[in-house]
């Protein structure tokens, strides 16, 4: 696949907008963007790589929006940022080594399983809960693990970060979501770097979807706050 029709680019940009809007509020935008890329004819590895390129726009936009309102403390999260990026880079490296046939067979099953999980997941509250894991331990274990998942597969990463912060760190939804966007931005950077070096990113599609992601994430973050 070396070229793409203008109408296909428009549809993918709209998919990016919807994914960015949803992801900035509760995560799960990859459940829209990855299937859209697969339907456009990209291979699983190309879909994952291009998805990371366009996700950078959305997670970056949402991070800026939350930070502008004082919900993100960069100094407090600098270690988590690095661990998320590192874990994701390792996951993306493994994704480039896994056979295309395996990804083609496994990815649709994973997407269906995650969609079902979100359909039955428990409600969460914006009220702070009980801290079940110390911040240092959370940063050293949960953050790189979710980052690794984002690099090798990706869909639902934002939601997994948010639910981990709520369930294990005792944060309310808004604070958890704000932190999630920064760490998801970090994991996108780590995986993007590996996929870009591997040459599996379709830049025209990634940029078109990225523009949609940026606008959608900005609007979604504003609505969430």
36-72 pLDDT, tens digit per residue, is: 999 998 988 899 999 999 999 988 888 888 888 888 8
The predicted model scores a pTM of: 0.84
Cα–Cα dist 16/20, whole Å:
6
**Tens-place pLDDT, residues 158-206:** 888 988 998 898 888 888 888 998 999 999 999 999 999 999 999 999 9
Cα–Cα dist 86/95, whole Å:
14
**Tens-place pLDDT, residues 104-135:** 777 777 777 777 766 676 666 556 668 889 99
Whether the predicted pLDDT of 149 surpasses 70: yes
Residue 199 DSSP one-character state: T
Angle between helices 203-224 and 30-39 (to 10 degrees): 160
Cα–Cα dist 67/76, whole Å:
13
Cα–Cα dist 33/16, whole Å:
6
């Amino acid at each position: 696949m070396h070229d793409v029709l203008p109408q296909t680019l428009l549809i993918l940009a709209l998919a990016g907008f919807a994914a960015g809007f949803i992801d900035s509020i509760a995560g799960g935008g990859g459940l829209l963007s990855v299937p859209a890329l697969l339907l456009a004819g990209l291979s699983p590895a190309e879909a994952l790589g291009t998805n990371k390129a366009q996700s950078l726009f959305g997670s970056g936009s949402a991070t800026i929006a939350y930070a502008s309102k004082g919900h993100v403390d960069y100094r407090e999260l600098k270690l988590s940022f690095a661990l998320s990026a590192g874990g994701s880079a390792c996951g993306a490296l493994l994704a480039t080594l896994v056979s295309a046939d395996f990804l083609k067979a496994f990815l649709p099953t994973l997407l269906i399983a995650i969609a079902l999980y979100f359909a039955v997941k428990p409600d969460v509250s914006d009220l702070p809960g009980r801290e079940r894991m110390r911040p240092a331990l959370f940063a050293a274990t949960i953050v790189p693990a979710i980052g690794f998942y984002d690099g090798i597969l990706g869909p639902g990463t934002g939601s997994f970060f948010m639910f981990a912060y709520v369930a294990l760190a005792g944060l309310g939804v808004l604070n958890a979501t704000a932190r999630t966007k920064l760490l998801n931005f970090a994991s996108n950077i780590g995986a993007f770097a590996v996929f870009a070096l591997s040459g599996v990113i379709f830049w025209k599609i990634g940029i078109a979807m990225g523009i949609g992601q940026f606008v959608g994430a900005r609007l979604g973050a504003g609505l969430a706050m």
